[in-house]
Amino acid sequence: MKIDDRIPDGMGNGTLPDHASIKTPWEKLISFFDAYHYGLRHNAGLGALFFEVMRILIPDYEKRMERMAGLNYNIFYQTFASGFNKVHAGNHNVPPFVKGAMTAPLFGDSGDERLCMHGRVNDYGTYRVEKELDNCPFEIQGTEVCRLSALITEAIGDSFCQTGPEADEHKLKFIMSEARGAGDLHCRFIIESREKYPADDKPMWNAFEPAASLDQVQYTPEEKMVKEPQEFRGECDYKYRNGFNMESNATDQFRFGATNFILGANYVLPTIDDMIKKGETTQEEVENIFQCVFAGAGKMMFTEFFAAKGLRDWLGVPEGLNDGRVLGAYIEVLLQIWMGEYKVIAFNKDEVVYDITKLGGREHAHPLCAHAIISMWYGMARTLVGQRWFCERIREGVDEKTIRVKISKKIDKFAR
Amino acid sequence: MFSNIYKNSAFKRAEHEAVRQTVGWYYFTHFLVEVKGADAAKFLDWVCACPILSLAEGRARYTTILRDNALILDDVVVFHIEGDTFWLSSLFIKKILPWLTGHKEGYDVEITDITAAWDMYAVQGPLSKDLIGAIAKESVEGQKFFAIAHNEIAGVPVKVARGGFTGEAFGYEVYVPAAETKAIRGAISAEAGKLGGLQVTEFQVMVWTLPTEKGFIHMIDVEGLNPIEAGLDKGIAWDRDFIGKEALEKTRAEGAKRKLLGFVADNPDAHIPSRMLGAAGTPVIFGGEEVGRVTKYTYGFTAGKNIGYAIVDAGKVKPGDVVSLNDNTATLTVRVFV
């Protein structure tokens, strides 16, 4: 295996100012700002595909939501009730006298800004909280993710209602009264106490139930909506800051995993695991569905000639170069955005090989994640590079912790 | 559509008025740092903008803690508990604890986060002295403002500090070992009921409506300001050395370029985003120019107005000027409303 056509690491060091940026194999720089935003939107698309898998497995919306809601509520409740809730509250600078479910929206707020779901807190109190979002990269996933995000924040809120002197006092209902995923201009979380704002109970999955305090909504018109999260706004001194003066910047957010979190996959994968465990589907069936969905999406990404041309420009691919290195460069950019760890084993006109030891932080937690992503790269290879090119995972001679990905030409009479 | 969240809320009004007219009590535990050792007073005197060496045993002092460039790192109440033991009550331990430990070299002090060990209940309002007097073993009749004393409630040893975050002439903070919190809570609650008082349960009342009427600040109001700009320089003893003094003296000589002022909004239903809910706050517009940002905005039940704070360019606006805040007119004021 050989590596060629790459500028050696370190060439030019110290001659020009250093910039925080992603580098393609041809030293084209992708700015931190672009990488951050691109990464989120890409992950949103990936998450959308995970939901498509879920829709194939459970076609009925309500049944699907019921299944995902119960399971994910429990996962988040247990995780946070184990003590992580208090640690996280400390990270958010929440003072000790703030007790109960009203703590959870603070986590939602910082997470929203981290994931470019920027907007504003309109109300924050013991009995009512209102958060309005002007943007959501994940709005393309469908409304399941909106409902689930409201529900799991409620689960986190509930985890705070079990301990301390204020125990059981401040349970809150988390409602999403507007959702960009449903076509609304804003996403609007209204979190209210049924003690002060009575309403009939709705099924757990239905976080879109009407809020009882709609008369208190503070609506931001389109012309006053914000275009970027706090950490990318000069008026905020390029820092996220909550009301308790917790502050973080985009560097912190990136390091915290903003761009390697596939929101959506985290709700789908445990549900699928549960279905396999209960014999409602099989590992083989699920893997096949993942391959169909992700490979199909990968092919479609570059079916149009202008899509491939646009990517080549973005990556700075040299004129005339059209082999596995084009896809390899794209994969490298993604891995850097995901804070992945990889080694270039081969990079030449005949083959490109990477040993990936960290694939966005999730592959070893769940093998289906790697399977899905590599299936997508498989599909991309067929249209981005050409029908003679394949991207596949090589397992022979590779240790279990390493994902070896090879892009090369081959003939496969059973190719999909 | 939107109507004033606070003004129209009967329960928020009731809780607020209990503190102003009778007595209100609430769980109000802050972060608590113990500074102990032979050099504790000397160390705190250097770290705090206000003098601590002169702080008598059993007394408390409000002070800012400054960065080297004189910007406020935190505002705290320092209690001289006894001998070489001091407590710092803070809402910002994440920054203050590393700051203190990072500056203790050369001082014989131990710095410990004791937050988990102590709960605190605020008892505030004109009848608060009656309430504490009825349940405490030792009389609080002669207890001075910003004094802390050992006492006993429901058989539990506690510390009772006179003071609070409501601006009431009479208010107490009861520090109780966390394991005994229920007994104290029960005793306070029962006595409050007898006096016609209420438990304040609404966060907005305890941290915004009550304190804002009296000009109290949170770190979010003064982040990026020095104490002169924030109006928190009263009590600074300039004849001693303290962290940030050199930089602060420059502002003292030249005058503050920014100020933290109050404002009253004219429209009773005005929606004015502020830093207290995160982000940058609404721009303060005067003469078509941005001259500041809103840090706080709430309704003052006693004041009967929508009130708030804004950091403004001191050279461009002053109290009395009418400004525009998110398309609403407001009049700049000093920072006390009742």
- Chain B residues within 8 A of A241 when measuring between CB atoms: 220, 223, 275, 278-279
Closest CA to A150 of A233, A208, A100: A208
Per the listing, tokens 């502002």 go with: B251
Give the per-residue pLDDT at A362.
64
Give the per-residue pLDDT at A169.
60
Q: Scanning every residue of chain A, which has its alpha carbon at the shortest distance from the alpha carbon of B29?
A: A97
Cross-strand partners of B223: none
Give the per-residue pLDDT at B119.
97
Q: How far from the centroid of its chain's Cα atoms is residue B157's Cα?
A: 25
Q: For B162, how many CA atoms within 13 A lie in the half-sphere containing its CB? A: 21
Closest CA to A144 of A200, A190, A182: A182
> Do A175 and A192 contact (CB within 8 A), yes or no?
yes
Q: Would the CB atoms of A230 and B30 count as touching at under 8 Å?
A: no
> Do A283 and A67 contact (CB within 8 A), yes or no?
no
Angle at B22 between CA B20 and CA B28, to 5 degrees: 70
Q: What is the pLDDT of residues B133-173, one digit of tens each?
A: 999 999 999 999 999 999 999 999 999 999 999 999 999 99
Give the per-residue pLDDT at A252.
93
As a whole number, mean pLDDT of residues B185-213 equals 97
Give the per-residue pLDDT at A401.
87
> Do A172 and A157 contact (CB within 8 A), yes or no?
yes
Residues of chain A scoring pLDDT < 50: none
Q: Scanning every residue of chain B, which has its alpha carbon at the shortest distance from the alpha carbon of A167?
A: B182
Give the per-residue pLDDT at A326.
98
Give the per-residue pLDDT at A149.
96
ipTM of the complex: 0.96
Q: Scanning every residue of chain B, which has its alpha carbon at the shortest distance from the alpha carbon of A193?
A: B202
- Chain A residues within 8 A of B225 when measuring between CB atoms: none
Q: What is the pLDDT of residues A113-128, one digit of tens each?
A: 999 999 999 999 999 9
**Cα(B61)–Cα(B47) distance, integer angstroms:** 14
**Cα(B167)–Cα(B298) distance, integer angstroms:** 16
Q: Would the CB atoms of A243 and B115 count as touching at under 8 Å?
A: no
Q: Give me the helix-helix angle, A367-380 and A32-57, nearest 10°.
A: 110
Query: Cα(first)–Cα(last) distance of chain B, in Å?
Result: 30
Nearest-CA distance A291 → chain B (Å): 43
**Cα(A101)–Cα(A167) distance, integer angstroms:** 10
> Do B95 and B103 contact (CB within 8 A), yes or no?
no
Give the per-residue pLDDT at B1.
45
Give the per-residue pLDDT at A201.
87
Candidates B30, B204, B278; nearest CB to A125 = B204
Q: Scanning every residue of chain B, which has its alpha carbon at the shortest distance from the alpha carbon of A231?
A: B279
- Chain A residues within 8 A of B117 when measuring between CB atoms: none
Map residue B178 onto helix, strand or coil: helix
At residue B322, what are phi and psi to the nearest 5 degrees?
Answer: -100, 125
Per the listing, tokens 């996962």 go with: A75
Map residue B312 onto helix, strand or coil: strand
Residue B33 — very low, low, confident or very high, per pLDDT cuts 50/70/90? very high
Region of A76 please: left (phi>0), alpha (psi -120 to 50) or beta. alpha
> Do B13 and B102 contact (CB within 8 A), yes or no?
no
Answer whether residue B222 shows pLDDT above 70. Answer: yes
**Cα(B191)–Cα(B161) distance, integer angstroms:** 18
Q: Give me the helix-helix angle, A265-277 and A367-380, nearest 10°.
A: 120
Q: What is the pLDDT of residues B89-148, one digit of tens each?
A: 999 999 999 999 999 999 999 999 999 999 999 999 999 999 999 999 999 999 999 999
Average pLDDT, chain B: 96
Nearest-CA distance A4 → chain B (Å): 48
Chain B interface disruption, residue of A244, A246, A248, A252, most B CBs within 10 A: A244
Nearest-CA distance A266 → chain B (Å): 28
Q: Which domains does chain A have, with CATH numbers?
A: 21-31+282-409 (3.30.1380), 58-248 (no CATH)
**Cα(A39)–Cα(B299) distance, integer angstroms:** 42
Q: What is the pLDDT of residues B231-264, one digit of tens each?
A: 999 999 999 999 999 999 999 999 999 999 999 9
- Chain B residues within 8 A of A243 when measuring between CB atoms: 220, 275-278
As a whole number, mean pLDDT of residues B14-32 equals 98
Q: What is the pLDDT of residues A172-211, one digit of tens each?
A: 999 999 999 999 999 999 999 999 999 998 999 999 989 9
Chain A interface disruption, residue of B5, B71, B275, most A CBs within 10 A: B5
Q: How far from the centroid of its chain's Cα atoms is residue B152's Cα?
A: 26
Q: Would the CB atoms of B280 and A96 count as touching at under 8 Å?
A: no
Q: Would the CB atoms of B280 and A165 count as touching at under 8 Å?
A: no
Answer whether residue B178 shows pLDDT above 60. Answer: yes
Angle at B164 between CA B160 and CA B168, to 5 degrees: 115
